[in-house]
A and B are shown apart, each in its own frame.
Chain A
Amino acid sequence: MIKISKTEDTPQVIFDKQNNVFEIRGRSLPEDAAKFYAPLLEWIKNYVREPNPETTLYIDLEYFNSSSIKQLVLLLLLLEDILKTENKVKAIWSYPKNDELIEAKGEEIKSILAIPFEMRPI
């Protein structure tokens, strides 16, 4: 399980297989995004070998830098392995209704992924 508290420039991350909770919330602005996301990618790589019947990754970011987007895409691509199985997987991109920037980023990410990706304005 991964449970990371949020900081000024990194998000809160909860990857809890037992309780079936997967979420990334807050701000993602680390100088070295690859370093921050490496353990998360590693964990997901392991997880998709034996995933839960239904996996939903909930993403709710207020701010992010471009290198974080890159890492998020890598992470979401890893989830595609679940599509090869009978199990279900999807991602939810949550954002404030009038935040066109986050909305646009979500649409961009959605367009290159194979997994179901739900845009959720609040």
Chain B
Amino acid sequence: MNDTLTYDFYKKLEKDQLAFVYSGQFSEDIIKTAVNFGEKKVEGSGGSTRIKQKITSLIAESFKNIILHADKPNILHNTNNKPSMFMARRRGESYSMTSANLVDSRKTDALKSKLDKLSSPSPAGDLASVLSAKKSGLGLLEMVKRAGEKVRFDLEFVNYYFSLFYLQVQLDAGRKKGRTDFSISSDQELYRMMLKHNLMILYKGNFTQPMILSLVEMVENNLKKKPEALWKKKKIFYLLIELLQNISKHAMIVDKSREGIFMVGVKDNKYLIYTGNFVEKAKGDHLKSQIDYFNSLDKKGLADLYKASLQSERKEEKMSGAELGLIDVARYSNDKLQCEFKPVDRFSSFFSLHISA
């Protein structure tokens, strides 16, 4: 495992109060989950109803756009895996939503001209005529109409058959418009990073219970389609909850937020879960010695430790809930707990944890 992976992603997204990237299954049932997630996301920032509606409909349209218009290569097209991806980011009161998906290269010229008409300052007439087009891309245009703000796109050449189409919509909820700018190249870099490390979901920001439930639901949705045994799915769900709640309960508060980062990747049928958050130095030292201890035990040793901890309830609250959960995380992971503590300043470190399930 690349020890600094979680920290690298965190640093890249440091300026975003919130960042969410999804590259899992795009299907009708995920739309509802994503919209639900969007609602909670806006709630957190104290957004108005109007903004919430704009954002949630943008999210829905982005997903629909991907579901309807992403072209799928077959084996003859010799296209290395380029999955569809959705990104949502927030800085202050500026939001950016980007969708990335493959498009058949035969469509790119038509797509480009349609979008050029939209992004250039054009009188209402042009927009109306474009909007009246009934064919593919109508959902897309709905999206743009509703955004009413900055739209950017890029077509990245993949091969003779396909291009990777990025569409970014930026929405400024605050009074001072146009203050923050999300560059599309930053999104493209994020796409490459996600792909390189086989990541399916990424979330960076404030960890609250509603947010956690949304994230877990998303993973669950993806798991549903897979043929894995119920036991394995339950295990993944259990580990996710433990790791995420550890952040929401114990992460150091940064700027009034239980700040952290969470990533899930899938490789060779294994689920790789990464979490990162800040901890006070002393707490970090204690945590490190605990993890080292857990890693020194075998599965049976961990099972015995777990039972002993449960039983210690008889006497007093010796072991904190977090520790009990961490023992179980150690038990049910495929390998040892992998962690890293990166000193950030005199008082705190960035704690990364990585498990495989």
Pick the contact of B306: A65, A100, A102, A108 (CB < 8 A). A108
- B310 partner, pick from A8, A101, A112, beta carbons under 8 A: A112
Beta-carbon contact of B230 and A96 below 8 Å: yes
The answer on a CB contact under 8 Å between B310 and A73 is yes
Q: Is the CB of B238 within 8 A of A67?
A: no
- Measured as residues with beta carbon below 8 angstroms from the partner, the interface class of chain A is 20 to 34
Answer whether residue B248 sits at the interface, using C-beta atoms and an 8 A cutoff.
yes
Could you tell me if B324 and A99 are in contact, using CB atoms closer than 8 angstroms?
A: no
Q: In the complex the two chains form, is A74's CB within 8 Å of B229's CB?
A: no
Contact B313 A77 (CB under 8 A): yes
Classify chain B: how many residues form its interface, as a range: 20 to 34
Question: Among the listed A73, A99, A111, which residue makes an inter-chain contact with B234, where contact means beta carbons less than 8 Å apart?
Answer: A99
Chain B residues near A111 (CB, 8 Å)?
307
Q: Answer yes or no: B328 CB below 8 A from chain A CBs.
A: yes
| Interface residue? A109 (CB, 8 A) | yes
CB-based nearest B residue for A101: B234
Could you tell me the distance between the alpha carbons of A108 and B311 in the complex, rounded to whole angstroms?
Answer: 10
Contact with B along A35-66 (1 / 0, CB 8 A): 00000000000000000000000000001011
Interface pair B241/A29, CB less than 8 Å apart: yes
Whether A102 contacts B234 by the Cβ 8 Å rule is yes
Cβ-defined partner of B324 (8 Å) among A34, A70, A102: A70
Check: B226 CB closer than 8 A to any chain A CB. Answer: no
Is the Cβ of B321 less than 8 Å from the Cβ of A67?
A: yes
Whether B209 and A74, one on each chain, are in contact in the complex, defined by CB atoms closer than 8 angstroms, is no
Across the interface, B241 reaches (CB within 8 A) one of A34, A65, A100, A108, namely A65
| Nearest CB of A to B231, in Å | 4
The residue in chain A whose Cβ has the minimal distance to the Cβ of B249 is: A31
- Name B's A-contacting residues (CB within 8 A): 209, 213, 229-231, 234-235, 237-238, 241-242, 245, 248-249, 303, 306-307, 310-311, 313-314, 321, 324-325, 328
13 A-B pairs, CB-CB below 8 angstroms? A9-B213, A30-B209, A31-B209, A31-B248, A63-B241, A66-B328, A70-B310, A77-B314, A98-B229, A98-B231, A99-B230, A99-B234, A112-B311
Apart from A63-B241, A66-B325, 16 more pairs, CB < 8 Å? A9-B209, A31-B249, A33-B321, A63-B234, A65-B238, A67-B245, A70-B313, A73-B313, A98-B229, A98-B231, A101-B231, A101-B238, A108-B303, A108-B307, A109-B310, A111-B307
